[in-house]
Structure 1
Amino acid sequence: MTVIEGYVPFRGHRTWYQVVGELGGPDGRVPLLVVNGGPGLPHDYLQDLAVLADDGGRPVVFYDQLGCGRSDRPDDPALWTIDTYVAELGAVRETLGLDPVHLLGHSWGTQVVLEHLLGKPTGVTSAILSGPIASAPLYQAEARRLKAELPADVQQTLDRHEAAGTTDDPAYQGATIAYYRQWMCRLDPWPEYIVQGMADMRHDIYGALWGTAEWNLTGALKDWDVTDRLGEVDLPVLVTSGRYDVCTPAVVRPVAEGIPGAEWVLFEKSAHLASIEEPEHYRQVVTGFLSEIEAD
């Protein structure tokens, strides 16, 4: 399998990308562009999606969002806005000639994809929204409900450090991992690339956009809500989530019901990372959806 890497110039910086497979190859399959979650994470935790390139020669494209992973890491807080990352997605598409393209967004990546789609771009064949968010306030409310299900001592640790403003304390970080192991990824142990990705997280970007924790939104996106605009999305959409997902049915249902004709698949053994927790099933669902779209 051919793998190439390079950089897309973007606002005076460089965005790293990787193509698994051959763009414009003889099979002519529409490429799949993956937009990962975070904010502040590299793409590595979704690297298993490269297997989708084995599906009849479909190219799969990854990139590290600005500030993360192998992309440039400027120290400029003014860059940490959703508009930056929506524009970056457009730059990756334009530079690599991804028209037509399928888009796959995960978690925060679904927010970037939704904003891109609401801008009415050309050339998007379909979108896959995995663990989607259309309303940050609704997400926060559900995250707080899930937090309340943690053991009392874990909640007390979280609350104590949030009140004291010491969320960089190792005890707080450890308590946060307890939340992630319930509703982000339930595999035990976690694959090493998830551990490394979490270790490489840019907490300043996460904080600027999101907040101090999943249930404590203080960043620029705390009031972000496109629920009322979902009806404007006029292309085939696959929505996926897990039974134990931090994106609970209450969070996902408005997306699945708000986008005309969207299909929603619930992975019964997964939390937020069905592509890792149920990889074969996830692959079958995604390839089946893409094949059906391209057969029409």
Structure 2
Amino acid sequence: MPIKEGFIQVTGGKVWYQIHDQQTNNAPVLILHGGPGSSHWSLQGLQELANTRPVILYDQLGCGHSDRPNDKSLWNLDRFIEEVRHLKEGLGLTEFHILGHSWGTTLAAAYYLKYPQGVQSIIFSSPCLSAPIWAEDQQRNLQKLPLEVQHTIRECEVNGNTDSEAYKKATKIFNDNFVCKLPESDRPAFLKEGAKFRNSEVYNIMWGASEFHVAGNLKDFDCTKELHKIDVPTLYTCGRFDEATPESTEYFSNLTSNSKLHIFENSAHMPYIEEPEVYLEVMRKFLS
């Protein structure tokens, strides 16, 4: 399919984008990846949606193929909202759809609530729309793990040993249960390659040292009282075993009048990797 790549100037540097277009003449879907400080890399399979409408993948500033400025003041939600606006204007988008995953749903909601013009629909994939609710959910998820894993995680965090091997092993057990349930041998090769595109500084400043305790500048983010303002068609999805829990995802959906909910029964936080064919089918149905 025709692919277009380039860079757009935003506050702090340039961000890389890639457009997949099968000439459908439909308004494109803009993909907002997770993190903060991750990249489009794990979401590259979403280019397959281009047979429904053009797909715009991009790396947020600080990660992936985009610039990595050495300015900690850039890592805040307001600047990322403006980044999306700059991307929209730079690409000349008048109408478009948004698909956000994880932190990308935080950004999608915050962007829409400030700049709703032109947004035709929103997909909140494994949503994080309230940092306090997310933190509460992770404490409940931790309680589902073996006691020794819980103890290791809590002890390392209290003592500031989150760089230790013990903490990394315990975190991997959490991730294997609530982030991606596929065995290592069944995960696509490109998934491991994505590590080099991340920026841990962005993650640490905005979120914190771990998924479990929100200590960064997003710790008070909560847009649940504004979800009723979203009046475009909206789809909420998550995995049955997702760290973005089905209970919270359903709660967010119930606060949004024109919304639908889909749970991927065999997935955790990465259904686009764990159940790719089903995920793409659900996305295509909604986007068409």
- TM-score for the superposition, normalised by structure 2: 0.95
Distance 2:188 2:245 in 1: 23
Which residue identity is paired with 1:209?
A: M
1:12 positional shift: 4.1
Which amino acid letter does the alignment assign opposite residue 158 of structure 2?
A: A
**Are 2:155 and 1:160 equivalent residues in the alignment?**
yes
| 2:271 is equivalent to residue 284 of structure 1 | no
CA distance in 1, matches of 2:238, 2:41: 20
Find out whether 1:36 has 2:27 as its counterpart.
Answer: no
Does structure 2 conserve the Cα–Cα contact (< 8 Å) formed by 1:40 and 1:202?
Answer: yes
CA distance in 1, matches of 2:229, 2:196: 38
Q: Indicate which of 63, 66, 83 corresponds to 1:68.
A: 63
Question: Does structure 1 retain, via aligned residues, the 8 Å contact 2:11–2:79?
Answer: no
Of stretches 38-47 and 174-183 in structure 1, the one that deviates more from structure 2 is 174-183
| Partner residue, 2:146 | 151
CA gap 1:201/1:173 in 2 versus in 1, 3 angstroms? farther
> What is the distance in 1 between the residues matched to 2:249 and 2:173?
23
Specify the alignment match of 2:9 in structure 1.
Answer: 9
Residue 100 of structure 2 aligns to a residue whose secondary structure is strand
CA distance in 1, matches of 2:115, 2:61: 23
State how many pairs are aligned: 286
Structure 1 moving runs of 4+ over 3 Å: none
Please say if residues 65 and 197 of structure 2, whose CA atoms lie closer than 8 Å, have aligned partners that are also in contact.
no
Match of 2:272 among 258, 270, 275: 275
Question: Cα 1:168–1:107, aligned 2, differ >3 Å: closer, same or farther?
Answer: same
How far does the alpha carbon of each residue in 1:209-236 deviate from its partner, in whole angstroms, 9 at most, with x for none? 1111111111111111110110111111
Aligned counterparts of 1:13 and 1:131: Cα–Cα separation in 2: 29
Question: Which residue is 2:169 aligned to?
Answer: 174
| Equivalent position of 1:92 in the other structure | 87
Flag the 1:248–1:86 CA change in 2: closer, same or farther, 3 A.
Answer: same
Return the match for 1:136 from 111, 128, 131.
131
- Tell me the distance in 1 between the aligned counterparts of 2:161 and 2:70: 22
Change (3 A) 1:176 1:198: farther
Alignment of 1:188-267 (within 5 A): 188-189=183-184, 190-267=187-264
Between the two proteins, what is the percent identity of the paired residues?
A: 40
Partner of 1:143: helix, strand, or coil? Answer: helix
2:237 aligns to what SS in structure 1?
strand
Query: 2:154, 2:77 → 1: CA distance?
Result: 28
In the other structure, the counterpart of 1:121 is 116
Cα distance in 1 for partners of 2:12, 2:199 equals: 20
Over the aligned positions, Cα root-mean-square deviation in angstroms equals 1.4
Shift of 1:108: 0.4
How many angstroms does 1:54 deviate by?
2.6
Partner Cα separation in structure 1 for residue 171 and residue 195 of structure 2: 12
User: How far apart, in 1, do the equivalents of 2:125 and 2:89 lie?
Assistant: 24
Relative to structure 1, the CA distance from residue 277 to residue 139 in structure 2 (aligned partners, 3 Å threshold; closer, same or farther) is same
Cα distance, 1:200 vs structure 2 = 3.7
Matches of 1:108 and 1:28, distance apart in 2: 29
TM-score, structure 1 normalization: 0.93
Q: 1:105 aligns with which of 96, 100, 103?
A: 100
Q: Tell me, which stretches of 5 or more residues in structure 2 are unaligned?
A: none
Deviation at 1:41, TM superposition (A): 0.4
Given that 1:133 and 1:255 are in contact with CA atoms closer than 8 Å, whether structure 2 keeps it comes out as no
Task: Name the amino acid aligned to 1:70.
Answer: H
Give the Cα–Cα distance (whole angstroms) in 2 for the partners of residues 174 and 288 of structure 1.
39
